[in-house]
Structure 1
């Protein structure tokens, strides 16, 4: 036989026991005393048993009422705790979020976004996994992370991609290098003339470079001299005059680029969109949504420190911005203040 179990009469029953009075219990439940008495009577009718012995002054449990109380006290408390817990999740008063990020986005966007999130939702816990783009997609599909801040190399029917920003790759070379004498926009073919310091196989930067050189330039990458894992290492080797590197524009504000020049490449194949990827068959948790809001805000702030995206057609004009000199002119972004050298985490992308 199916039993119509209602929470409100059960809560009224427990309040009556805890207060020892229908009047006080009705006040706590927020109903009139006649309405409260009706709730108890409905419960007794459903159960087919009398639960209380009542007089004009006192109430006491019957033996059936005592047995019923011993059985429902803990389950009702657990049910209420479950409701409170989910309400906290919905209101982002607590929760956990695990996300993945390309090292270039983790280096620049994540610290500011997570810091802002802590001010707004201090009880949230965040776990960040830095990995190559292909690794992030694999972790998404196996539920190791809830979402990723990554590039979408090609459409994936099982994933949803929401663009955050357009990014590009930049040639990085020491001041005084011959690339600084090029009086037009730089392209892949320009950097191929020199020894290259590239990020390792598996990184999105390396994949995009190899694909562009193969499909558009039609040249083998014979100039590769150094294969490194971390962007900070690449920048340091460029500073030593060991070659030219190609690094993501998004990461440049957080790298030590003293004495280096950085020029966005004008090839269409040097562009990429950075965005939020998550599984199409799963909804983002309130905690994840709150973090994405902060990521968008952090991106708006960091955009003022990024080099401008170049037009996709070759134009005449100065090719580079020397990172050792103050930036001037309305078309050049504000240069961040120099900071003292600090130990880097050796990001990779």
Structure 2
């Protein structure tokens, strides 16, 4: 029966084919010639095919043997690779790691770490998926990623958020905009500026909503919620319901402002209270355009559609703006009164432990990332 054949038969067959004789194959494998002869005879008896033409001095492959040889080599190679992966996994030096991360993390944080990692662990393989914060959390929760690195979105069961670093919110505007000449901009100064922003599925948008900032419009002309978020909320998903609730809270605040608040009064009060959420200054941040992609957002700003608010690292990655690039078309200016930061952290599942190689990579992220030369004012946790 074919089931009686095993990897030993493949090894002996390939050795005889490559050495050209039974005795030479026996010496290469460290076996006796009778064992080699018996193995090949059993192989041919079970398959019903002659694999070698034998003479007194030489052994050559038959046509069937020639056709089977590359298959046997591939099977042996796959077997050796599988054993190598298994050994590497057990020792924590190899295997596959699936990582979901925000675009700014993938383009600026991870490449430098990965360069060191693959040099030390050449047998490891990494899969990187670019996602927004909500998608990263969902991917980890659904076991589609071993861990994630993104902003703090909404609470999900079994999900742990461990802070890694934070970067400051600021305004991204054209270099010829009045804001571009300032060293800092108060949130109140954004009132009634043309604004483009990220959708509610974004970690940045969700965070701004939680803190009382960020684009929504009065209930009479509300910006449509992301279909995915709306559907998830209807199904009772807690995270999505929280996002919808935050948007509704913003709508009520803006309706109040729209009924009589004046921009100048809002600015004056903001400077004394520092509580923009209470003032409902989100009325001045109604998105003319809403998108899920920061590169698209930067293109809208460059075209003069409006300004936007982004964390510093995300803004600089999306635009290529650096501290040394004085001729850049876009400018990033930090926001103040109050100063707000976006926390970025590692997202893992409490109920699932990481593989040895994933733990090694994550430890390297924690060690190497703070040493990177990044074009942003980052505060490491």
TM-score range normalised by the length of the shorter chain: 0.5 to 0.7
Match of 2:312 in 1: 249
Match of 2:200 in 1: 201
Structure 1 position 271 matched with structure 2 position 341: yes
Structure 1 position 259 matched with structure 2 position 323: no
Structure 1 position 291 matched with structure 2 position 361: yes
**1:177-212 superposed Cα distances (whole Å, 9 cap, x missing partner):** 2224557x4233222331112123311122223342
Match of 2:149 in 1: 149
Sort the Cα spacing of 1:167 and 1:304 in 2 relative to 1 into closer, same or farther, 3 A: same
SS in structure 2 opposite 1:305?
Answer: coil
CA distance in 2, matches of 1:138, 1:278: 11
Sort the Cα spacing of 1:140 and 1:279 in 2 relative to 1 into closer, same or farther, 3 A: same
SS in structure 2 opposite 1:264?
Answer: strand
SS in structure 2 opposite 1:129?
Answer: strand
Sort the Cα spacing of 1:273 and 1:195 in 2 relative to 1 into closer, same or farther, 3 A: same
Per the normalisation by structure 2, the TM-score is 0.53
> Where do 5+ consecutive residues of structure 2 fail to align?
1-29, 33-80, 214-249, 251-276, 322-327
Match of 1:138 in 2: 138
**More off after superposition, 103-112 vs 153-162:** 153-162
Per the normalisation by structure 1, the TM-score is 0.58
Give the deviation of 1:221 after TM superposition. 5.0
Q: Say if 1:160 and 1:277, in contact at 8 Å, map to a contact too.
A: yes
Higher helix share: 2
CA distance in 2, matches of 1:155, 1:201: 15
SS in structure 1 opposite 2:336?
Answer: coil
SS in structure 2 opposite 1:89?
Answer: helix
Q: Say if 2:193 and 2:285, in contact at 8 Å, map to a contact too.
A: no
Q: Say if 1:252 and 1:306, in contact at 8 Å, map to a contact too.
A: no
Match of 1:227 in 2: 290
For the aligned residue pairs, the C-alpha RMSD in angstroms reads 3.0
> Where do 5+ consecutive residues of structure 1 fail to align?
1-17, 21-80, 310-349
Give the deviation of 1:98 after TM superposition. 0.7
SS in structure 2 opposite 1:171?
Answer: strand
SS in structure 1 opposite 2:116?
Answer: helix
SS in structure 2 opposite 1:109?
Answer: helix
Aligned residues: 232
Sort the Cα spacing of 1:173 and 1:84 in 2 relative to 1 into closer, same or farther, 3 A: closer
Match of 2:274 in 1: none
Sort the Cα spacing of 1:120 and 1:90 in 2 relative to 1 into closer, same or farther, 3 A: same
Give the deviation of 1:154 after TM superposition. 5.0
Q: Say if 1:209 and 1:270, in contact at 8 Å, map to a contact too.
A: no
SS in structure 2 opposite 1:170?
Answer: strand
SS in structure 2 opposite 1:113?
Answer: helix
CA distance in 1, matches of 2:310, 2:113: 22
Structure 1 position 281 matched with structure 2 position 358: no
**More off after superposition, 246-255 vs 129-138:** 246-255
Match of 1:321 in 2: none
Larger RCO, structures 1/2 (Cα 8 Å, 6+ apart)? 2
Give the deviation of 1:151 after TM superposition. 1.9
Q: Say if 1:92 and 1:124, in contact at 8 Å, map to a contact too.
A: no
CA distance in 2, matches of 1:267, 1:131: 31
Give the deviation of 1:149 after TM superposition. 0.2
Give the deviation of 1:260 after TM superposition. 2.0
CA distance in 2, matches of 1:243, 1:198: 9
CA distance in 2, matches of 1:129, 1:84: 26
SS in structure 2 opposite 1:172?
Answer: strand
